[in-house]
Amino acid sequence: MKKAIVLGADGQLGKTLFLLSKNIDVDFLFCSKSETDITNKESLRKVFHKTNFEYCINCAAYTNVEKAEDEIEKAILINANGVRNIAEVCKENSTKLIHISTDYVFDGTNDKPYKTTDLTNPINQYGKSKLLGEKYLKEVLKEHYIIRTSWLYSPFGKNFVKTIIKHIQNDANLKITTKEIGTPTSCIELSRFIIFLMIKDNISYGIYHFSARGSTTWYDFAIEIAENYDPKKVSYISATDNFKTRAQRPEYSVLDISKTEKIYGQLPKWQNSLKEVLEELKKFP
């Protein structure tokens, strides 16, 4: 049986992987931030020396886009230096690394979906730290998969879907931006792809873009959530093109998923993935 370690297991993707792992013929070890600190190489070595892992899945990241503008050193420590630590320890142990990156490595000036080969040019500190992590990883470890994904949501943790539902439940009026275009991506779908990479075992290393099919704005995403969750509350959501944030965001960050679909098959439309996550949410109190 294959053995895999999941770092950042207490985040929404780590928790989703845990949910799906029960039906998979892989022996997983899930490590939370408190159990394994990726910014401390000795902490990583300690856990890697316990078992001969074939795969490491790095879900650990600094993801607060707004705070990263001020906490630049912390974002780099986790998203870049931490990734280099993981890559170095994976190399020492002949472990393949599956690393999660972001659409925010692009500047948003494209008028068509970004390919894996397109020029990167992050416009905020979060994106810069994630791109630096990609660079370090590629320099250190050949046996790696970098999965760039976008607008992640799940039944777990803090994410846009759960935030909108909470506001809907409280009858709150919401103004949601129409300025950004991207693709919502279910952690359930992403977890399935990660598991596929491990089980298939002969997929070429490198960068893959992963999202659902299609694109939308945050406003239209919020409307779709409301229509599926409680259609009577759709009127509580209004559009705005004047939404100020500390961090600059790419106005267009749709990912070209054709390379991924060639090895994996056609991905679902984002509306269908949303319905699956909303059904899953019903199982939680």
In angstroms, rounded to a whole number, what is the distance separating the alpha carbons of residues 272 and 213? Answer: 10
| Residue 145 annotated in active site | no
The catalytic position among 62, 104, 126, 229 is 126
Query: 22 by DSSP, 3-state: which?
Result: coil
Give yes or no for a contact between 101 and 280, defined as CB atoms under 8 angstroms apart.
no
Antiparallel, parallel or unpaired: β 181-182 and 216-217: antiparallel
- Token pair 């259609």 is found at 231
Whole-angstrom distance, CA of residue 88 vs CA of residue 207: 19
**How many whole angstroms separate alpha carbon 89 and alpha carbon 153?**
29
Element (H, E) at 90: helix 82-92
Q: How far is Cα 203 from Cα 98, in angstroms, rounded to an integer? A: 12
The dihedrals phi and psi of 102, each to the nearest 5 degrees, come to -145, 155
Would you say how long the chain is, in residues?
285
Cβ-contact 199, 246 below 8 angstroms? no
Q: For residues 275 and 281, give the distance between their C-alpha atoms in angstroms, rounded to a whole number.
A: 10
Q: How many helices (H) and strands (E) does the chain have?
A: 10, 12
Measured distance CA(103)–CA(150) in Å, rounded: 5
**16 touches 57 (CB < 8 A):** no
Q: Which residues are catalytic?
A: 126
